[in-house]
Amino acid sequence: MGTSGSIKKANKRRRPVSFLDLPPEIRHEIYTLALSWPNLRVPFARLRHECEQDEAAWFTPSSLSMGLGNICNHSCTLPPPYIPESDYTTPTIFLLNRQITYEALPVLHAQELIIDQPPPYSMALGRPVDITMFISEAALQRARRVVLKIDIANLASRWARTVDTLLDVWCMDNRLEELKIIVSGGLAGGRTNIIGEEGVRIIVLKMFAKLRKFGTENPFGVKVLFEDCSPPRPPAEWVPGLRSGTLETDRYGCSNYVSGDTMRKDGNAST
């Protein structure tokens, strides 16, 4: 009995084990399992649904007296998009204490931030919603590895707006080590008529040119990778004297002039 009682007293006096008492290697593994960048599809889908509801209500025909008939319900302004705090919160692990935050933040920033669709379009704004409404500029600037999965066949203009916003944020400051561009949609299918609309094709080429320029001129030394393709080139310019032909587009949006007289990709006619 005496031995059992002394053991119980010793257990009561023993200090509780703190998380920070664990070896740093174990804490690092816990951070890796507990932290990840948010899946942006969820808040994007929620906001898109809310915008569609607001726009549908705004355009609902309403019968007015005095013989005016059916008109749109424009008695009030279309509300701007609203991002609830639940979609823009800090992970709990960063609220525990300063040391844990100091140790855990680099673990999150080292993980891949995957952006596989642009934010939804808002009729109230007249443009897509800024991605900084979902991820803060500070968080974007501290991400080390970012993947953009760009669907240029269907969402080219929205992606162009999102890329412009990201580049503006990163040009001010960034910790980027690698920016990977994965192309999907019309350009990656090997078709010569990639989209059909010349204006959209130009949007795509300009967007890729900005990304390539960011990689070559960025003072922070970020590596920009176009997966399964080389960085796109601007369209070949018309050279007088060439016979008529067709301006085709290769699988990644690079234009090549094809005719009886062939043109090299450096823009000079070959003999």
How far is the C-alpha of 91 from the C-alpha of 18, rounded, in Å?
A: 20
Place of tokens 């007293």: 9
Could you give the dihedral angle defined by the CA atoms of residues 114, 116, 117 and 118, in that order, rounded to the nearest 10 degrees? 30
Q: Tell me the sheet residues that pair with 182.
A: 149
The predicted model scores a pTM of 0.68
| Angstrom distance (rounded) from CA 207 to CA 137 | 20
Question: How many angstroms separate the first and last alpha carbons of the chain?
Answer: 104
What is the rounded distance in angstroms from the CA atom of residue 186 to the CA atom of residue 189? 6
CB of 247 within 8 A of CB of 267? no
- pLDDT of the chain, 271 residues: tens digit per residue: 556 666 566 556 667 778 899 999 999 999 999 999 988 888 888 877 776 776 666 666 654 444 444 445 555 565 666 666 655 567 788 888 899 999 999 999 999 999 999 998 877 677 788 899 888 899 999 999 999 999 887 788 899 999 999 999 999 999 999 999 998 876 544 444 444 567 778 888 999 999 999 988 877 778 898 885 544 455 444 334 433 333 333 433 433 333 233 333 344 444 3
Which residues are bridge partners to 72 per DSSP?
61
d(Cα 58, Cα 108) in Å, to the nearest integer?
41
